[in-house]
Amino acid sequence: MCGIVAYIGPRKAHEVIIKGLKRLEYRGYDSAGIALLNGSLNIYKKKGRVSDLENTLEDEKLASRVGIGHTRWATHGEPNDENAHPHYSFSKNLAIIHNGIIENYSSLKQELLNKGYSFKSETDSEVFIQFIEDIQVNNDCSLEEAVRLALTKVVGAYAIVIMSKDDPNMLIAARKGSPLVIGIGKDEFFLASDATPIIEYTNEVVYLNDYEIAIIDNNELRLKNTQDVASTPYIQTLDMELEAIEKGGYEHFMLKEIFEQPRSISDCMRGRLNANKGRLVLGGIREYANKLVNADRIIIVACGTSWHAGLVAEYFFEEFCRVPVEVEYASEFRYRNPIIKEGDVMIAISQSGETADTLAAIELAKSKGAIIFGVCNVVGSSIARVSHEGAYTHAGPEIGVASTKAFTAQLTVLSMIALRVAHKKGTITERRYHELLVEMENIPSKVEKALELDAQIKLVAERFKDAKNFLYLGRGYNFPVALEGALKLKEISYIHAEGYPAAEMKHGPIALIDEEMPVVFIATRDSSYDKVVSNIQEVKARKGKVIAVVTEGDALIPKMAEFVIEVPKTDEALMPMVSVIPLQLLSYYIAVMRDCNVDQPRNLAKSVTVE
Ligand code: G6P
């Protein structure tokens, strides 16, 4: 987590950096800071949002052409002014911004304390910069060399940028485990955790690799690794529009992203699926396609919403490809000595492509000979790069911390992969295959229709916005949707919510039901419909308040439920892409009505780059 931005060039550095940090606030927002060279090396930092920092900066004093900035998600030390980044070195000649965790920081700190150093903050990052300075002083070497030597000694994850009082024309950056992109403009350079702070200035970028150090010195970019081996920067051209990362008239990014879904799902299928021609092509899965087709089992790893997408995929793959699927929380998988054999197939799902636990699960599986397929949204992200092959979700930048359009795009990609495999394996009939291709093409217009429920959902939100608890129930393909609905509500409105398989309710959650308890049923017409209707009756009998998401035209459930939300009919296997829409909207409106910060909920971060 944490977002970092740095600039060197002819513009006012603080303007570029503050604007960039605002774009990166999804990565963390408990404090923010900036270091500038204006007279001397000055650090301005503050607990709170980037806008709080901005309000304290007096423009005329800030004329600096070089600077580094940070927006923080606390790992070491509580969010306060001292722990905010940047951090000075002991002499105040250097300043650092850091995203990641230095695992051996306490032993390094002890060493430095023994030598007489002292610390202003509780962070591992301040230890990092003092350690670099100590190496520079002891070895009487250049800053570049001191950084390199320090990197051979620290354990953990980092994306760092360092500036020096003595060298206004230089920035030094490095990465291992946390992302860092360098934008190359005319006589200027931008560094950031992702490309969003960069794209309005240039679309030429270099993604730094693990163990690489970038030295920007006198308008020139050089790369080397921690073993001191130089390399040539590989410049890529970004394909991203500025408008994709702005709110476009919506009050929140989350609402914009919910409403973008008809388009993002279409974008995800574009050029890949053509039902008319019976064509389904995934350009990113070629060489290893047969590994998927011949797999004895598939392991899916992910976290959060992406894990829910994995659960839907489990139903889909097992039904159509007849292959056993295990869906694993990446954080559990990596630490439980899992059984992985040479040639096993893993699908890793991640919006950001940077989630630390998912990355570690991949590394573990890879080390045992598994073939990894990445399903990521962020192009060029770490998970996309370490996977053998994969398919991007192409949902466009997702800025709201609560994931919405990435989820439906993940379902789209995973369904396409499964259909491709099923077709190759012959575990699906031609008729069913074509039916599903046609129905997938219809999903964007059905999502569009589901979005028309907006006004109706506001009424439900108004009625239940003060509830203390919520229960979400569904079966089959709609069970993961229940989990996702509950997660959305928890994340942004801070109401306790649980998702459960509807039939499991009897084994515990039913005890919670009374006249105060709203119970959201995802009860669309499918193979478990009758059973879900019985579950609704069980809730009614205990005076629970039923809110039901049903298929349009349902005549039965409206007689039982307090609120009914009708979504368009679609294939049972594709229903999650449609039935999740009202749940996204419900959580959004409840959060707005409760005055919560929808796009930046407390304690959360969009990209969890710490384990
Ligand atoms: C965080 C985000 C969630 C996301 C999860 C996994 O918790 O707040 O929205 O689902 O990380 O992230 P990933 O980028 O791997 O999908």
Q: Is residue 125 part of a domain?
A: yes
Closest-CA residue, ligand 1 atom 15, reads 350
pLDDT digit string, tens, across residues 380-403: 889 999 999 999 999 988 989 999
Tell me which DSSP letter residue 181 carries: E
**Confidence band, pLDDT 50/70/90 cuts, at residue 408:** very high
pLDDT at 430 over 70: yes
Q: Is residue 604 part of a domain?
A: no
pLDDT digit string, tens, across residues 355-379: 999 999 999 999 999 999 999 998 8
**Alpha carbons 348 and 106: distance in angstroms, whole number:** 33
- 303 C-alpha vs ligand 1 centroid, how far in Å? 6
Catalytic annotation, residues: 2, 606
Average pLDDT, the chain: 94
- Answer yes or no: do 181 and 322 share one domain: no
pLDDT digit string, tens, across residues 341-354: 998 999 999 999 99
For ligand 1, is residue 401 a contact (CB within 6 Å)?
A: yes
Total domains in the chain come to: 3
- Answer yes or no: do 49 and 132 share one domain: yes
Nearest atom in ligand 1 to the alpha carbon of residue 352 is 14
Which of 205, 223, 243 is the last residue in one of the domains? 243
Q: 225: which strand partners?
A: 212
pLDDT at residue 88, as a whole number: 96
CATH number, domain of 423, equals 3.40.50.10490
Q: Is residue 589 part of a domain?
A: yes
Q: Where are the alpha helices (DSSP H) in 388-547?
A: 405-425, 430-451, 454-464, 478-493, 529-541
Q: Is residue 193 part of a domain?
A: yes
Q: Phi and psi (nearest 5°) for 163? A: -125, 160
Say if residues 495 and 447 touch (Cβ distance below 8 Å).
Answer: no
Q: Is residue 609 part of a domain?
A: no
The burial of 269, by beta-carbon neighbours within 10 Å (0-12 exposed, 13-18 middle, 19 or more buried), is given as buried
pLDDT digit string, tens, across residues 481-540: 999 999 999 999 999 999 999 988 889 888 888 888 999 999 999 999 999 999 999 999
Closest-CA residue, ligand 1 atom 5, reads 304
pLDDT digit string, tens, across residues 76-86: 778 889 999 99
- Answer yes or no: do 28 and 53 share one domain: yes
Which of 413, 431, 450 is the last residue in one of the domains? 450
- Answer yes or no: do 48 and 62 share one domain: yes
- Answer yes or no: do 489 and 468 share one domain: yes
pLDDT at residue 60, as a whole number: 65
- Answer yes or no: do 476 and 554 share one domain: yes
**Alpha carbons 73 and 192: distance in angstroms, whole number:** 16
**Confidence band, pLDDT 50/70/90 cuts, at residue 260:** very high
Secondary structure element (H or E) that encloses residue 342, with its range: none
What number of helices (H) and strands (E) belong to the chain? 18, 27
Output b/e per residue, 150-174; b: 16+ Cβ within 10 A: bbeebebbbbbbbbbbebeebbbbb
Closest-CA residue, ligand 1 atom 1, reads 606
Which of 243, 266, 283 is the last residue in one of the domains? 243
Looking at residue 557, its amino acid is: I
- 499 C-alpha vs ligand 1 centroid, how far in Å? 18
- Answer yes or no: do 481 and 384 share one domain: no
- 147 C-alpha vs ligand 1 centroid, how far in Å? 32
**Alpha carbons 66 and 202: distance in angstroms, whole number:** 17
Q: Is residue 419 part of a domain?
A: yes
Nearest to 164 by CA among 132, 196, 118: 132
- Answer yes or no: do 198 and 133 share one domain: yes
Give the domain extent around 177: 3-243
pLDDT at residue 287, as a whole number: 93
CATH number, domain of 111, equals 3.60.20.10
Q: Phi and psi (nearest 5°) for 556? A: -85, -55
**Confidence band, pLDDT 50/70/90 cuts, at residue 450:** very high
For ligand 1, is residue 600 a contact (CB within 6 Å)?
A: no
- 466 C-alpha vs ligand 1 centroid, how far in Å? 27
pLDDT digit string, tens, across residues 25-59: 878 888 999 999 988 999 999 999 899 999 988 77
Q: Is residue 611 part of a domain?
A: no
- 1 C-alpha vs ligand 1 centroid, how far in Å? 11
For ligand 1, is residue 381 a contact (CB within 6 Å)?
A: no
- Answer yes or no: do 465 and 395 share one domain: no
Residue of 27, 608, 609, 610 to mutate, ligand 1, most atoms within 8 A of C-beta: 608
Would strands 156-164 and 94-102 be described as parallel, antiparallel, or unpaired?
antiparallel
Say if residues 16 and 51 touch (Cβ distance below 8 Å).
Answer: no
- Answer yes or no: do 307 and 429 share one domain: yes
pLDDT at residue 79, as a whole number: 85
Closest-CA residue, ligand 1 atom 2, reads 606
Residue of 306, 408, 490 to mutate, ligand 1, most atoms within 8 A of C-beta: 306
- Answer yes or no: do 91 and 140 share one domain: yes
For ligand 1, is residue 352 a contact (CB within 6 Å)?
A: yes
pLDDT at residue 470, as a whole number: 96
Q: What is the mean pLDDT of residues 207-232?
A: 96
- Answer yes or no: do 304 and 409 share one domain: yes
The three-state secondary structure class of 345 is strand
